[in-house]
Structure formats: C-alpha cells, structure tokens
Structure 1
Amino acid sequence: MDQAKKIAVAEDGSWSKAAQGFARGQGVSPDELFTSEVKGTEYVFAKTFQEGKKTLELLPALKDLITSMHFPKNMRWHDYSLRFARPIQWLVALYGKEVIPFSITSIHSGDSSRGHRFLGEDVKITNPNEYKELMRKQFVLVDAEERKQTIRLQLEELAEQAGWVIPVNEELLEEVNNLVEWPTALSGKFEEEFLSLPKDVLLTTMKEHQRYFPVENMEGKLLPHFITVRNGDSSHIENVARGNEKVLRARFSDSAFFYKEDQKMDIDAAVRQLDAIVYHEELGSLGDKVKRIKDVAAKLSTHLDLSQSNQEFVQRAASISKFDLVSQMVGEFPELQGLMGEEYALYLGEKAEVATAIREHYYPRFAGDSLPETKIGLVISMADKLDTIVSCFAIGLIPTGSQDPYALRRQALGLVQMAVEKQLDIQLDTLLNLAVETAEDHGLKIENKEELLQQLNEFFTLRMKYALSDKGIEYDVVDAVLTDEQATITWTFSKAALLSEARKHENFKKVVEALSRVTNIAKKAEATVEINPSLFEKDEERLLYDRYKTLSSTLKQYKDQGQVTEAYKALEESVPLVHQYFEHIMVMSDQKEVKENRLQLMKQLAAEIEAFALFQKIVF
C-alpha cells in the first residue's frame, strides 16, 4: 500500500498524522514505513503480509456476492428481509465435488438441481464440468447465449418455411430468452381486420403484453401472424398456438375499441384535462408544464430565427403536445405517447407539421435514438427537456450517483446531441437562462438563481464530457475545450474534433508548448491594466503585441461565424512570434514597470488563447 510522501512527512521530517493513520490502517508501526520513487514521485509504502487461505474457505463469500446483486425490480417473500429478482428455491454451489457451505434465507447450498418444471426431474451434480450436459438432459439450456441462438435459429427456420420476414427486436429477444429454459418457437395468426389499426399499436400490443414477435412480408408490410416462444417442447403445439391466438385476439379487440373511442375526442378539451393531472406536487399539473414548454419554445424559436409560419406551428404543437396522454390508448400503452398524438392529431384535422412535431418532441428517447427531423419538433423537444431539467433542479431533484428517477442525464445528453447534430447557433448559458426565467415567470420560486445556473452549467458540462468521450475524443482534449460558458455547444464540439485531429501532426506539440508557456507565465500578472506600448524595448515585444491585437478581433469573428479551423490556424501562426519573444525578452525584468507591462501582455494574450482552449491541459 502507498501514500504520497508530500502529505506523509511533516516539516521537521517526522511522520505526519496522515502517515501515522496510514500505518495504523495497514496494521504496522510508523517505524516500518519506507519511501520509494514511482514515475518521478516519492511515495511512502507499508509492507504487509496476509497468510493465504484454502479456496474452499474463501468461497462461502459467494453468498455476499449473490445477495448484493441489484435488479430493476426486486421482491420479498415469506418474512425474509432479502430483496431479490425472484424467490430463491435452491442453491447449487460446488468446488470440485465438495459443496461450498452457505445459506440464503432458509435455503442451504447443496449439489442437487431441478430440471424443467414439466419435462425434467431433479438431478444431482457430482462434478461442475458435467453441469451443462446433465441439465440439458433435463430440458434446461443453462447457457444464456446458447438459448438465445437457439431461439434465433428457430425464428429463421419458421421465416424460411413460410416465406416471411421476422424482425427481431433485440430487447424483446433478451427478455424472452430470460423467460424460458427449453425454447420452442411457434406461429399463430389473427384476423386481417386488425391490420387496419396503426402498426405501432399492433407491434406494441404484441411486444409489451404478449412478448410476441411480429411477422412481415418481403416489402415490410405487417402480416396477420405472430411468433411466440414456448418454454417446453413441441408436444400439443397446435393447442398452444390456439390459446395464444385467443389471448391476442382479446388484446387487439381492446386496442381497436380504444382507438375508435379516442378518435371522438376534442383536442382542446383533452388539453384542458391536463390541468387536473398532477405532474409534481411542487411543479403543478401537466397543464402547467405544457404552458412552460410553450413559452420556452417561443423564446427558442426567436433565438433560432424560425420563420413566422414555423413559429406559429411551434406554438400550436407545443400547446397540444401532451394531449394524447389523456387518451385511452396511451393510458393502456404509455410507450405510444407521441405516436398516438401524431395519429390522432392528423385524424382530427391538425396540420401535418403540428402532428409530426407532437411525435418528434419525445425524441431522443434513449441512447442512439433518432433525433427530431423537423425544426418544429426539434424546438419543442428542446423546450420540454429544458423545462424538465431546470424545474427539477430548482426544487432539489438533482441526480446523485446512480439515482436519476427523472432521467435528467439522458435528457441533457439528448439536448447536447440535438445542438451538435443540428449545428444550432445558440449558447448553453442562453438555453439555461431562458428556461430558468420561464420557470420564474410561471411562479416557480428560485431562492438563488446564480447558484442554480452554476449547478445546471456543471451538470451539462459533465454531459458534454460524456458525449465527447463517446465520440472518441481524448480526455485531455475534452478538459482543454470545456473552457467557455459563452460558447455554443457546436463550437465546443468542433474545437474538440479539430484538436483531436491536430494532435496527430508533428507540429502540434510545438503549438501547445508555446501557447502553454504564455498562459503559465500570465498567472504571475496582477489585475488587468492597459498595456503601454511605449515601455516596449525590443521589436519582438511590438510584434507580439500587434499579433495580440489581431487575435483579439479575429478570434471573436471566427467564433461568431463558427470557423474553428481558421481560429486554430490564427493561433498556430502566432507560435513563431511567441518563440521569438521568449528567446529575446526577459519577462521578469528588474525594472518594475517594464516587468508589469510585459506580464500584462502575457495575461491579455493568454485570455485570447484560453478562450479557445486550455492548451496546458493537453498531455504528451
């Protein structure tokens, strides 16, 4: 074990309290500590010895590994305090032929397992190497990947035999795979009249309620058939198919009823119903949220220079964006929110632009999901996500650790993705300010606005770090470009991509060293004052001063126009002048006025450099 020497040794050379605590923690006396150098840094070490134990003595710790497992949904049973995915019925734990002794709830580990509930029998495992094959004989495929591949092959065989296409949803396949031990795929059919329902309704009914795979023809048109996976063999498979058909027929009949009834609704009346649905006790109703979304969207439309007609579409789409939440269909299938909104809006006479935006404003819903394709949908999506994040932060619902019940991280990442992919010319602080101001206008009490904006900025900066890393940008480049709160997200990502590419070139190291030298020495300057050119003694000072004045205007111009390559070139072209300056000029002159004037040039030039990137953070 080790500890840095600088915090382990006191000024008089004795061991510090930190070192003494370190020694106690390692079970040694301070006299036994020693120092050693690792990669140029001195560390203090303690050498400890722990006697080895037999493997069988260590393996009962498996109990803690099992009981510490987390699942999206846990349950309790009997009067036990343990929460687990399902009640534990038996435990097989072997090291060779020996049972690893431990118990969970009232279940003791042993060497006996159970086969398929209907097809198999209990089986004794005498050797772990025989486990898979012994269980296979009892109609249990214990290897999850083997089960999944078996299902996939069976689906392919059914499709080939009937001339179908069976689109495999990987999430559904994973769920089905974990529901069966001995998979057998089979097909069923339903009445063609149900194909008049929207495709998403049919797919969602099959997937969410029944765990069925849909069937399509070669052109991608849905066919009146489905595939399900039985946990068992092919005995009486026809009866199983008829039973599943009966259940699905009932589900589709319900969906058809909901669809027909929902088409009778009045959109504006549905919007008024949102006022009676609580969104959050501190944030009001869903109707209140819609009003905030509408106002944020209006401000965004102005900042993004949308045409007058598009602004009108934005206002209408924003005001009815959540109306389908009171529909019977979405009540039954929350996954269809937005999709049914578009469907019903078109049926009830709304413009296509408005209807499309209702669906798109939920995008992106998850990592890798589609982004809104229309400007109207984009603006409302951003407004919705901004309102959710800002209002949650305002009342203290800030993600911590793995806890993020309102999916604020995902929504912030979605906002970042939209800004980058759509090349939006809007600054992060502008987005945050207009959302915070809207929340205040709608009666949300914000005790400390500056602190809230700072929290939000830090939160989005972390999301940008994640997004940049996901694009393969090196960590030091990420740290270097996240410097300017006044920059657009697009500008920040463009800088990161450019520097990540530039570091591959031989000249990059010289650029970084020169610009870093300026920013490092600039730290010694006092408060900013005006540079006095009359105090310059050599041409190198005047040349660098002229270069600074050029940069102070051109870099801002390049930033405003999004010309990141030109901005970097301007800095790169300054490097020879920087080198000449340091070769001929002693910044820390004996003359106080000259020294302070030179430091001011360094400070103000450094400000221009650091507005682009903190080059000193780049590591070679």
Structure 2
Amino acid sequence: MANYLLEIGLEDMPAHVVTPSLNQFAQKAAKYLKENHLDYQNIEKFATPRRLTLYITGLADKQADVEEDVKGPAKKIAQDADGNWSKAAIGFTRGQGMTVDDIEFRELKGVEYVYLHKAIAGKPAKAILSGLIDVIKSLTFPTRMKWGSYDFEYIRPIHWLVSLLDHDVVPMQLLDITAGRTTQGHRFLGEAVELADASDYVDALRAQKVIVTPAERKQLISDQIAQIAKDNAWTIDLDADLLEEVNNLVEWPTAFAGRFDEKYLAIPEAVLITSMKDNQRYFYARDAAGKMVNAFIGVRNGNRDYLDNVIAGNVKVLTARLEDAAFFYAEDQKKTIADFVTRLQTVSFHDKIGSMTEKMARTATIAGLLADQVGLAAADKAQLLRAASIYKFDLVSAMVGEFAELQGTMGEVYAKLAGETPAVAQAIREHYMPTSADGDLPASRIGTLLALADKLDSLMSFFAVDLIPSGSNDPYALRRQAYGIVRMVAANHFAFDVNALQQQIASAFAANDQLSGLDFTKNAQAVADFFRDRVNQYLAGEGVRHDIVDAVTASRTVDVEAMIDAAAILQHHAADADFKPVMEALGRVTRIADKTPTTGSVDAALFENDSEHALHAAAAKVQAAFDAQPNEANYQALAGLTPVITDYFTETMIMAKDDQIRTNRLRELTNLAALIHQFGDVAQVIVK
C-alpha cells in the first residue's frame, strides 16, 4: 500500500471558490481512480487560498487485473461459407487489441457468436496516477483567466505542482510547469520546501507557517476569537458563512480586535454590520446587555509581529467607510419618503417595462387582490397598500446608493424614522424575501403579501415582454422569485390559482389604466407552466415520490397550494394497504374520461344495471360535500368509491353500441373524473 500527494499551487483564489473547487477536485479524482480500477482507502483534502491538495492513502501498487469475455458478431457474420474471416470479425478483434486467432464461438439462445477472452494485467499505480493531470485540467470554476501567452484558462495562474507517490515523483506536465516535490510555504513567513515523502506534507508546511487542514484552521480562528470575547466580556457572533470565507483567505490565521470612534454607534446597526462584515470581513461584538460595541474583530494572514500596525491600518480603513456611512445617513434624513418616491419616477425598472413608479402601482393593485383573496382585515389591508405605495423608496437613498446590499433594510429604518407603522416598515424590508432558494421567508402576513405581489408583478411583466428564462439563462432571477412564491404559498396555505390570478390581475390593470402597452395575457400559459415546474422542484426537495409529483403537477389548473396539498395527502396514504386498489379504481375512471371527455347531465333513465345507479348516487353524494381544495375528507370520499367503481366496471360496458347509453356513461365518468383531478392525474401514480 502507498500514499500519493497531489498539490496544485496557485495565485490566491477568491475565498468563495476554494471549498467548492477542493470538493470537485476530490470527486473527479475518485471517479478517475474508480474508472481506472486503482484501489485506495481514503482521500484527504487540504486547501488554502494558494493550494488545492489531495492526499490519497492506501493505494494499491497497481491496477486490479481484469478478466472479461467480450461478445462480438454472430458466427454467420464473422465467417463466410468457406470459413474465411470477415472484415467484421477482423475489425472486432483489432478493436479489442487481439487477433482472429483468439476467437472462440459460444452458443447463445441457439445462435453462435464470436467471443474473446481478455486477461488484462493491471498497470503500475504510477502510470495511472500520471493521468490525474487531466483531472486537474478538467476542473471548472465560476470565472476563469488566461496568463502569459497561453490559451489555457483556470481560476488563477498555476505556479507549481507536487506529485509524490510516497518518496517518488509521478511525472506530470502542465504548460511550462513540471511536477516535482517542492511546495511553497507562507508567502511572507515561510519559504519553499522539498518534501522527502508524501507523508511529510502537513508537518513540513506547518513549519513554513501554513496550516493546510481547513478544519484545523477554522477551529484556530474560532478559538482565538473566543479568547478575545472572553478577555473583553463581549459576545461575538461567529457567522458561519463569514467564518468560512475568512478561513479561505488565510494560511496562518491570527485574530485581533480593533476599536473605532464611539460616535459611529449612532449609525443604524445594519449599516455598521454591513461595513464590518460584508465590506471588510470583520466580526462584530456586543456587550453583556446585547448592545453593539465600538469594536471589530479581524483575522490576519500572518503572525503577531507588528500587530499594532495591522490593527491601526484596519481601523483607518473602517473609519473611512463609517465616515461615508454617517454622511449618507445624515443626508438621507434631510428628505421625506415622499421626496424619494417622487424620484422613483425617473428610475427605470426595465426599459421594456417601465419605471419603478409604475411597478409599485402594479404591485399595489396585485397586493389589493391578494388581500381580498386571503381575507385580510381592512386595517391590515390599508397598511399593506401603504407599504406597496412606497416600498421601493430607499433605492434612491444615498445610503443604498453606496451600500446596495442594504436595500429594504434601510427602507425599514427610514420608514420607522418617518413615522410609518412597524408593520409597514417591516413589510418594506421583507418584500425582498426569500433572497435565495432556501432563504428566510417573510415573518409577517403583510410582508408576505407584499413579497408575493412584487414577485408576481415581476414575473408577469418580464413574460409580457418575452423576456422568458431559457436553459440556464435567467438574468432577472425569475426562477428564484417563482420558487420563493411557491415556498411562501406553501408556508402560509394561501390558495394561489395562477391562471385565475393572471386573469384577475390583467383585468385590474386594464381597469386602472396600468397596462402601459403591455399584454399581460399573451404568455399567461407560459407563466402557469413556469410555476408548475417550480412546484415540481419544491415537492422533489420535500422528498415527495417522483410519480406523485408527476401526478399532482399534471393538474389541469395550476393552483400552487392545491398541488402541494394533494401531494402531501397522496404521499401520506402511499403506504396504506388499500392505496393500490384506490389508485387503480380512480385511475381507470380518469383514463377513460380523459380519452373521451363528454360533458353534460347524466340521465338515470338510461341506466341498465344496479351498478350504474349505485355509482351515480355515490358520486352525487361525494360531489355535494366536496371541498374546493384538496383535503383529507375529499381523499377519503373518493377512496370510499373504490368498491362502487369496481362493481361498475365489472357490470358495465362503457362503450355501448347505443349512442345515447354510451354518451350517458361517458358523462358519468367525466363528471366523476373532474373530482378526481383535484388530486392531479392519479393514473400516473405507480402502484405495485
């Protein structure tokens, strides 16, 4: 058994690229080894901003020997009547690296075929490992660059490669870089070091002030910050994302605390946190009472030498940002919300759609419709409409102009300062939520409705001007916005019939003279199908069986909540003993009805047997008590029809020769299928 070290040495990579790239490197290397039949025990992963490294332990000395039988053409194709080998036989053997002398015939289902028995001796590990250079070349990155006169592209220029099988170099060449045993220590505190053996890697670099194990580096940062917190009686929020980012910015971490002028604490906390966390990669601190203190915690890529100079430099940089923030904050307070809203008339939402003022007006219209649909109280509706009339105002504030990531957050701050109600201010912040596929949802009902209205307007507007996502192209994040709508609808159990809503919204826009020359109906079905796909994505993420997902999303109407509820009910009953007969019975009804849909009233006078009377009476009873939305009672009512449906199909020929009788029976099934379709196309549910 041997150990193998493969290190890619680079210019400093962006922090957000390091961990995904390391994981990709390990996955592709593992796949390569598996495909090449080279056994190993484990792959350890190391990374810093300047290196991506794999340490493969327990490697076999060589590939496993392979013995296999390869089937070729039939004997009648391989040989002519005189026993001469055909071109097909010769080509087959040559392709396998063998000759016709190696052919043997074997009978398979009464036909003789050509077979070759291949015994392939495994190649030495060293020969296989050299092929990992192709894995290095195959790594993908969000951005790539060229350097020198090369056409080759990578995340950053590659400066060295280490390729060691125990103490032997495994040859590799990439551009002008030849792999060897020399790695680089810390850029300022270390120096180049030759590795005698692959197993020396971690300790040799530690001696050169590089901690290559990400988990160890992260723990060291955490411990150092914890000590700073203890020494100062502070509470420090170790934000996981920031900790990960900082960890991938350093090779030899040293945490330190700095202080800024207390006067800057008058700036809203959100601005302070953004200035420290997002702009400077600092952690912030609170005192025992939970109040923010005028301090920051940074992490240096180096030791404690001259740390006072480092702290002073960081204080200077942060102070400049806070001074700007204090100025913008003061300037913004000289204006009213009405001033900001007026300025939005000159801000374009999109050149094909209109201004931000027009968008807010449409959003207010949609918000009003949604408020009525969910039965929002009059006082709450008034606050929702107030929020909708101003909710984008902070986009033209000086603070958001400088700190774009604070949009919505500053809207809430300024709204409170201007005397808006807490509910209105909160909704202004929440309307952006969720900001990612799994981001937090709005906590308030008013904020949720405003978020729904804003996102729905964006979707309908972009589709109205044919800016529809295709493939991976989605520049306006419409998939994320639609997925956010699905999540909010699911969390709040709102009825959300996309087709009906679009019609209501388009009519309301027309009545309010808000169409602005746009046709909000021409791509209405595309919008509905877009939502259907997002529901599919949501249900799959919730672990719903794929066949049930396919069934409920095949619903004729795109009612988001109805599809989600139907999926939950079917998933819940999938393990029931009677699930199979229920699905088979209901599916049989829908298959026939969907193939030959026939609407109209059923005439009991045309019934020819008792099973027709029984089904008609039972279906009428179910329909009378059927709720508009899928629920447990509806499912149980339909499931209760199983024996009646079974008897009906046993005793009744649907496609009778008599036209009137056949039509009457198809009407019966079509009417019943309309109820069953509340749960989608149940015929797609797989039962065994």
Tell me if both proteins adopt one fold, taking TM over 0.5 as the criterion: yes
Q: Answer yes or no: is the 8 Å Cα contact 2:256–2:300 preserved in 1.
A: yes
**Alignment partner of 1:570 is 2:637:** yes
1:224 match: secondary structure: strand
**Alignment partner of 1:552 is 2:623:** yes
Ranges in structure 1 where 5+ consecutive residues have no aligned partner: 1-19, 37-45
- Of residues 145-154 and 329-338 in structure 1, the stretch that sits farther from structure 2 once superposed is 145-154
- Of residues 347-356 and 590-599 in structure 1, the stretch that sits farther from structure 2 once superposed is 590-599
Pairing 1:154-553 to 2, within 5 Å after superposition: 154-434=224-504, 442-443=514-515, 449-450=521-522, 452-486=523-557, 488-522=559-593, 525=596, 527-528=598-599, 530-553=601-624
In the superposition, relative to structure 1, how do residues 486 and 526 fare at CA in structure 2: closer, same or farther (>3 Å)?
closer
Alignment RMSD, CA only?
3.4
Give the distance between the partners of 1:233 and 1:325, measured in 2 at CA. 42
Q: CA deviation at 1:524?
A: 5.5
Q: Answer yes or no: is the 8 Å Cα contact 2:566–2:630 preserved in 1.
A: no
Match 2:202 to one of 132, 149, 153 = 132
2:473 match: secondary structure: coil
1:424 match: secondary structure: coil
Q: Answer yes or no: is the 8 Å Cα contact 2:615–2:644 preserved in 1.
A: yes
Give the distance between the partners of 1:308 and 1:255, measured in 2 at CA. 39
For 1:54-111, what per-residue CA distance to the aligned partner results, in whole angstroms no more than 9, with x for missing partners? Answer: 655555554554444443444444454444333322233445523342314x444333
For 1:374-412, what per-residue CA distance to the aligned partner results, in whole angstroms no more than 9, with x for missing partners? Answer: 333222211211122222223333333433222211111
Q: Answer yes or no: is the 8 Å Cα contact 2:499–2:525 preserved in 1.
A: no
Q: CA deviation at 1:553?
A: 3.6
Residue identity matched to 1:268: A
Q: CA deviation at 1:133?
A: 2.3
Question: Which residue in 1 is equivalent to 2:78?
Answer: none
Residue identity matched to 2:685: I
Give the distance between the partners of 1:613 and 1:403, measured in 2 at CA. 30
Q: CA deviation at 1:593?
A: 5.5
Q: CA deviation at 1:446?
A: 5.6
In the superposition, relative to structure 1, how do residues 600 and 294 fare at CA in structure 2: closer, same or farther (>3 Å)?
closer
Give the distance between the partners of 2:608 and 2:658, measured in 1 at CA. 12
For 1:500-551, what per-residue CA distance to the aligned partner results, in whole angstroms no more than 9, with x for missing partners? Answer: 1111222222211222233334455465465443332221121012222333
Say which structure is richer in helix: 1
Give the distance between the partners of 1:71 and 1:403, measured in 2 at CA. 17
Give the distance between the partners of 1:98 and 1:294, measured in 2 at CA. 68
Question: Which residue in 2 is equivalent to 1:119?
Answer: 189
Q: Answer yes or no: is the 8 Å Cα contact 1:483–1:612 preserved in 2.
A: no
Q: CA deviation at 1:164?
A: 2.2
Q: Answer yes or no: is the 8 Å Cα contact 1:531–1:597 preserved in 2.
A: yes
Q: CA deviation at 1:228?
A: 0.8
Q: CA deviation at 1:285?
A: 3.1
In the superposition, relative to structure 1, how do residues 448 and 310 fare at CA in structure 2: closer, same or farther (>3 Å)?
closer
Give the distance between the partners of 1:393 and 1:47, measured in 2 at CA. 59
Give the distance between the partners of 2:555 and 2:133, measured in 1 at CA. 50
Greater length-normalized contact order (CA 8 Å, ≥ 6 residues apart): 2
In the superposition, relative to structure 1, how do residues 90 and 286 fare at CA in structure 2: closer, same or farther (>3 Å)?
farther
Residue identity matched to 1:482: T
Residue identity matched to 1:574: L
For 1:338-397, what per-residue CA distance to the aligned partner results, in whole angstroms no more than 9, with x for missing partners? Answer: 111111122123333322221121122123433223333222211211122222223333
1:291 match: secondary structure: helix
In the superposition, relative to structure 1, how do residues 120 and 278 fare at CA in structure 2: closer, same or farther (>3 Å)?
same
Question: Which residue in 2 is equivalent to 1:10?
Answer: none
1:214 match: secondary structure: strand
Q: CA deviation at 1:213?
A: 0.6
1:202 match: secondary structure: helix
Residue identity matched to 1:181: E
Give the distance between the partners of 1:282 and 1:68, measured in 2 at CA. 40
Q: Answer yes or no: is the 8 Å Cα contact 2:412–2:425 preserved in 1.
A: yes
Q: CA deviation at 1:132?
A: 2.2
Q: Answer yes or no: is the 8 Å Cα contact 1:330–1:340 preserved in 2.
A: yes
Ranges in structure 2 where 5+ consecutive residues have no aligned partner: 1-87, 97-104, 110-114
Give the distance between the partners of 1:292 and 1:330, measured in 2 at CA. 23
Question: Which residue in 2 is equivalent to 1:16?
Answer: none
Q: Answer yes or no: is the 8 Å Cα contact 1:324–1:337 preserved in 2.
A: yes
Give the distance between the partners of 1:48 and 1:445, measured in 2 at CA. 73
Q: CA deviation at 1:599?
A: 4.3
Q: CA deviation at 1:418?
A: 1.5
Q: CA deviation at 1:207?
A: 0.7
Say which structure is richer in strand: 2
In the superposition, relative to structure 1, how do residues 168 and 77 fare at CA in structure 2: closer, same or farther (>3 Å)?
same
TM-score normalised per structure 2: 0.76
- Of residues 240-249 and 430-439 in structure 1, the stretch that sits farther from structure 2 once superposed is 430-439
Residue identity matched to 1:570: A
Aligned length: 580
User: Quick one: percent identity of the two aligned structures?
Assistant: 39
Give the distance between the partners of 2:209 and 2:218, measured in 1 at CA. 15
Question: Which residue in 2 is equivalent to 1:43?
Answer: none
Residue identity matched to 1:314: L
- Of residues 116-125 and 466-475 in structure 1, the stretch that sits farther from structure 2 once superposed is 466-475
For 1:114-171, what per-residue CA distance to the aligned partner results, in whole angstroms no more than 9, with x for missing partners? Answer: 1101111112234333322222221112222222222222222332333322111111
TM-score normalised per structure 1: 0.84
In the superposition, relative to structure 1, how do residues 439 and 597 fare at CA in structure 2: closer, same or farther (>3 Å)?
closer
Give the distance between the partners of 2:541 and 2:318, measured in 1 at CA. 41
Q: CA deviation at 1:619?
A: 1.9
The structure that has the greater radius of gyration is 2
For 1:529-581, what per-residue CA distance to the aligned partner results, in whole angstroms no more than 9, with x for missing partners? Answer: 654433322211210122223333433xx12xx46011011101111212222
Residue identity matched to 2:366: V
Give the distance between the partners of 1:178 and 1:580, measured in 2 at CA. 68
Match 1:102 to one of 173, 194, 200 = 173
Residue identity matched to 2:673: A
- Of residues 353-362 and 60-69 in structure 1, the stretch that sits farther from structure 2 once superposed is 60-69
1:89 match: secondary structure: strand
Give the distance between the partners of 1:339 and 1:270, measured in 2 at CA. 15
Q: Answer yes or no: is the 8 Å Cα contact 1:386–1:432 preserved in 2.
A: no
Give the distance between the partners of 2:344 and 2:320, measured in 1 at CA. 30
